[in-house]
Every structure is written in structure tokens, then in C-alpha cells.
Amino acid sequence: MGLLLGILLFAWFLNSLFYLPFIRLLYAWKFQRLHQKTRDAFNKRTPIFDKFHKHKAGTPVGGGLLVLVTTTILFPISILLMRYFWVPITAVYPMRSEIKILLFTFLSFGVLGLLDDVKKTFFWVKSGFFGLRLRHKLFLEILLAAVVSFWLVYELKIDIFYVPFFGVFRMGWWYIPFATLVIIAFANAFNITDGLDGLASGVLMIALVAFWFISASILDTPLSLFIALWLGGLIAFLYFNVYPARIFLGDVGALSFGATLAVVGLILGKAPVLVVIGAIFVLEVMSSLFQLLTKKFFNRKLFAAAPIHLWLQYKGWSEPKIVMRFWILSIVFAIFGLWIAFLTKTPVP
């Protein structure tokens, strides 16, 4: 664990050195949201969101790209160095397959998010919609998530669903659509949560620390190493993302981080615990989903604004107050999830 803590600090230090030049580079590339005018899933304007966030126009986006690049480069290098210096490496699964799945999820959803960021930043006025069309984006997400889910079953032999206190249910090939749904849900949940300065990144940091403890407890070195590197980069980003943010994560980070968080939970065999530890993400996406459904089928709003963090802003809560209280709730949910995970001793597939 001492080595992993050192690696985390190194990743934090390296990313911290790069972030100021990276922010200046994004300004030079004009990778900014100069028009804070958004649309919902039905391509309708969102005036409440625009009201509370219009002052953020001009802040550079794409902050997740640096974490994506540094983590992807440092991960295989760290594995090779550990082997070269005869550092013991233990893995629950075939190590190459586990590394492939983690990096593929991290990079593929990141590339999809980057494409969406570029579309939003440079071409949204001409194209008539904000970012990729929902159906195109969802199709690509399903395709990528299905590939990852297939590898989870075929290469890692994960096909069980463990319900704490009740036991193991073997799902066989039905695990593929289940895992696909979980990955897509968390990718979009993270994207929806990433609406306030420091909110999504802070909640993710807390969730990753919880899963880091779990991965270390089962001696899964590749996964523990990946989380350590990811955490180091995330903390460096969060320093510049807290209120008032100097840089935003962008879809390049949001889709990648949300999907990879889901995969981490699935690899650890902790799908129910993932819902508990990531409860803030679940709450955010469910509030948005219910809002969309009531507008679609009943032609009325369930909330004055959605997701729930925007509703709290509408009710008069300040942005830092919402973020800090959501972080506190995340810590409670993370502790609760860890308690369930260690109390029930979920078997690794």
C-alpha cells in the first residue's frame, strides 16, 4: 500500500505541473464554451440552467483530457517498472485482459466525449443542435459498453450478480446486457452530475478511494495501481475545478470517468455496492430521468428544474453549499458501501 500511495502522490505532482500550461493551451485553442445556451434531450432550451451558469461562459473545457492522457501513459509504464524491479504483482484475473478492459473503457468513452466537446465548442451553432444528437451518442455508448461487457464475461469470466445478505445469482450471458446498462447509466449519470464546480469530480474522488480500499483488500495490483494513478490526476484537476472553476472536465472526462467507475465496480463484483457508493450519481440521473418522463408523457414537470443540484440552486442554495453537502453525503454513502462490501465478503467471480 505504501508503494501505491507514493504512486498516487507522483501522479498528483506530475498532473499539477502540467495543468497551468494545459489551461493556457486550451485558451490558446479557444476550447471554451463561449455561449452558455444548452438544450435538453428533446432539443429544447433550458433557461433555468442558463440563468445560473451564464457567468461561466468562456471557461475552458476538456480538463479531463490531461488526466486521461497521463493515466493512460503512466499505467503500463508503472506495470513494466514494477516487473523490472521485481515488485510483487498479484492479480485476480488475467492481467492483460484486465488492463485492456480498463484502458479501452477509459480511452474509448473519452474519445467519444472529446468528439462531443469539439462539436459543442466549435460547430453547435451551424449544426442546429448542442453536441452529438442523443440517438447517435447513445448508439455509440451502447456499442462501446457492449464490447466491454463481452470482454468481462468472455475473458474475465464475470457473470455473477451478488446481492448482499442474499447470495450469488449466476446470470450467464445475460450479464452482458446487464453490464452494458450499468456502464451506460453511470457514464450519463456522471455527465449529468458534472454541472457545478467541483461536484462530479469530488464525488468521484470519494468513490474511488472506497473502491481503492476494496481492490487493495483482494490484492488486485493492476486495478489498485490504475485507481491510484487516476486519483492522483483527479485531485490535481479538482484543485483547479473547485468554485470558482478555472477549467471544466468536459464530456471527454465525464463520459470516460463515469463509464470506468462502473467497470471498476463490475470487475470487483460489486454492482450493488457501486449503486451505494455512487448514490449521488444515481440520485442525479434518476431526477433527470423522472423529469424527462413526466415532460414526455404527462406534459408537465416533476421538478421546477432538474437534475436535483439545479433544483437546489433554483430553491436558493449557493453553488459551494450544494457541492460541499453532496461531498459529505458521498462520504457517508462510501462508508456505508464499504461496510456492506466488507461485512458480506462478496466473492470475486
Name the percent of the chain in helix, strand, coil, to the closest 5.
70, 5, 25
Question: How high is the pLDDT of residue 57?
Answer: 81
pLDDT, tens only, 101-121: 999 999 999 999 999 898 888
Question: How high is the pLDDT of residue 132?
Answer: 64
How far CA 167 is from CA of 147, 164, 177, 232, 295, in Å, comes to 27, 6, 21, 35, 39
Q: Name residue, grid cell 524491479.
A: 85
Q: Which residue has the higher pLDDT, 58 or 329?
A: 329
Residue 127 pLDDT > 60: no
Class of residue 173 by CB neighbours under 10 A (exposed 0-12, middle 13-18, buried 19+): exposed
Residue 237 pLDDT > 80: yes
Cα(310)–Cα(293) distance, integer angstroms: 18
pLDDT, tens only, 241-283: 999 999 999 999 999 999 999 999 999 988 999 999 999 999 9
- What is the dihedral angle through the alpha carbons of 187, 191, 194, 200, rounded to the nearest 10 degrees? 0
Cα(161)–Cα(183) distance, integer angstroms: 15
Among 336, 192, 214, 329, smallest CA distance to 266 is for 214
pLDDT, tens only, 139-151: 999 999 999 999 9
Cβ distance 63 to 201 under 8 Å?
no
Cα(195)–Cα(249) distance, integer angstroms: 10
Question: How high is the pLDDT of residue 39?
Answer: 55
Residue 168 host element (H or E)? strand 167-170
> Please, what is the Cα angle at 40 between 188 and 279, to 5 degrees?
35
Q: Which three cell numbers stand for residue 73?
A: 501513459
Residue 44 pLDDT > 60: no
Q: What's the pTM?
A: 0.93
Among 346, 101, 76, 82, smallest CA distance to 215 is for 346
Share of the chain above pLDDT 70, in %: 89
Cα(237)–Cα(227) distance, integer angstroms: 15
Question: How high is the pLDDT of residue 169?
Answer: 81
Coil vs helix vs strand at 214: helix
